[in-house]
Chain A
Amino acid sequence: TQLLEQSPQFLSIQEGENLTVYCNSSSVFSSLQWYRQEPGEGPVLLVTVVTGGEVKKLKRLTFQFGDARKDSSLHITAAQPGDTGLYLCAGGSGTASKLTFGTGTRLQVTL
């Protein structure tokens, strides 16, 4: 079974701070997806990276896929209260119909 470990598990920061969430595995994935989940709702896709070394930016969020396609990071610049939520990485295998989710990082941004 493939495993994806995220760190940190919990993060509480103040508005305006920067942060990085890590997603690590010993397995190679064909794609790496990042989701954000609000309480009582399903995860919402933020981004997908498929090429080793790929970097994607989504406003204040920067996503990177490791060169070996085993790890990924999410960096948030100048965090805002609206960034609060559970961040999940998910690795796709083969056709990526099989998706393995990471353990999750719960982020709280306070004023």
Chain B
Amino acid sequence: EAQVTQNPRYLITVTGKKLTVTCSQNMNHEYMSWYRQDPGLGLRQIYYSMNVEVTDKGDVPEGYKVSRKEKRNFPLILESPSPNQTSLYFCASSSNGGYGYTFGSGTRLTVV
């Protein structure tokens, strides 16, 4: 089944403890992207990648890192999480960004 898989689905962590949210797609897509979704603010793009080793900042990149060492994986790294990074995170992939993305099921992160 074609899908984008994120792990974990739920995560509660403490301020300053580094964490990684994994994202993997099995559709051989070139484009991958990370979003966060917050009440009243909607979906905002954090980082995106157009190919292996090619990444760029979205609208809210501060406090996040990404890497694209292989086509199928696009992990999101929070080096020193803070409470304002508590959010619902989505990974998405696309064969051609202009024609629509397939989203993962989301990761609900709480930083205390």
Contacts and interface: CB of A to CB of B under 8 A. Distances in A.
A82 interface: no
Nearest to B101: A45
Interface string A80-111: 00000000101010011111111110000000
Interface string A38-64: 001111110110100000000000000
B74 interface: no
Interface in B67-112: 90, 92, 96-106
Interface residues of B, number: 27
B106 A48 contact: no
Contacts of A40: 105-106
B98 A31 contact: yes
Interface of A: 1, 30-31, 33, 35, 40-45, 47-48, 50, 88, 90, 92, 95-104
18 contacts: A30-B98, A40-B106, A41-B106, A42-B104, A43-B43, A47-B100, A48-B98, A88-B43, A90-B43, A95-B50, A95-B97, A97-B48, A97-B49, A97-B50, A98-B45, A98-B97, A99-B97, A99-B101
Interface of B: 4, 31, 33, 35, 42-45, 48-50, 56, 58-59, 90, 92, 96-106
